[in-house]
Structure 1
Amino acid sequence: MGSFCSRESDNFDQPGRVVGAAPSNQNDPAPRASVPSKTNWKSSPGRTLGASTSGPGEAGADEARANAAIAAQKRAESASAANKGKLGSKLAAQKAQTQTQALNEASRTERAARDADEGEAARRWD
């Protein structure tokens, strides 16, 4: 049985070489990347991480970033102030409750659930 994906030519059709012998130049050598020219990396002092530079176009980038942050802050404030909706208003009411008020409300709902369970048990004649 042969593999239907294999090629017609076999790897053993060509003459081989002895282990440890230098490869023959029968095939073209693999393409190689060009070696970069030597550069003097010491010529530029570099810059400190996070430091602002005053290069062309970079000062405007800092200003644009600050303006975008201010605009985002304004959008967040306006979105939280208006259009809360039903869930937003419920969440605001929960946040406004004190701990005592929250515990009292939880207690009331628990008692109501127990009363409902007792009523159901009474209807079943348990």
Structure 2
Amino acid sequence: MGNLCGKPSSDAFSSPGRRLDSAPPPGKPSSASVPQSVSAAKTSKAPPKVGGPPRTLGGGGDPSSSQDDARRKAAEAAEARLQQSKKGGKLQAQLDKDKAKTRVDTLKDASEIERRHRDADSNAEILRNS
């Protein structure tokens, strides 16, 4: 099958080959090249200096005061979460109720659930047989 819309390309195996340990023939430019803008930037100036103490975004003043402020806010948020968790909610109330049950109460509840399952199974069997 041929290429309908393009130009015929040269065959990759039409040129003479070379050994793997030899260098490529001179005069052929490699396909990977450095763009002009990057190469010009490297030769024109020295790279910009980067350094100094780390700063948070938006911080305009002393870095240590902003760190202290961030620590204080994090501590306040942790305290608020702790107070919220102590209050609990609906699930916490159910958990406390379940923890307060004795072993006998737990066994009675399990027995009642099992009795209900047996009753439902027997009712379903009666309906199937009728």
Scaled by the length of structure 2, what TM-score is found? 0.46
Higher relative contact order (CA 8 A, sep 6+): 2
Scaled by the length of structure 1, what TM-score is found? 0.46
